[in-house]
Amino acid sequence: ETGVTQSPTHLIKTRGQQVTLRCSSQSGHNTVSWYQQALGQGPQFIFQYYREEENGRGNFPPRFSGLQFPNYSSELNVNALELDDSALYLCASSRGGGGSIDTQYFGPGTRLTVL
Partner 1 sequence: KNEVEQSPQNLTAQEGEFITINCSYSVGISALHWLQQHPGGGIVSLFMLSSGKKKHGRLIATINIQEKHSSLHITASHPRDSAVYICAVCGLAGGTSYGKLTFGQGTILTVHP
Stretch that binds partner 1, among 13-21, 35-43, 63-71, 75-83 (CB under 8 A): 35-43
Select the residue interacting with partner 1 from 5, 11, 86, 98 (CB under 8 A): 98
Q: What part of residues 57-76 is at the interface with partner 1 (CB under 8 A)?
A: 57-58
> Using an 8 Å Cβ cutoff, are 22 and 74 in contact?
yes
Q: How far apart are CA 78 and CA 112, in angstroms?
A: 11
Contact predicate 32/18, CB 8 Å: no
Q: Which among 31, 17, 39 has a CA at the least distance from the CA of 88?
A: 39
* Residues in contact with partner 1 by the rule CB under 8 A: 2, 33, 35, 37, 41-45, 48, 55-58, 88, 90, 92, 98-106, 108-109, 111
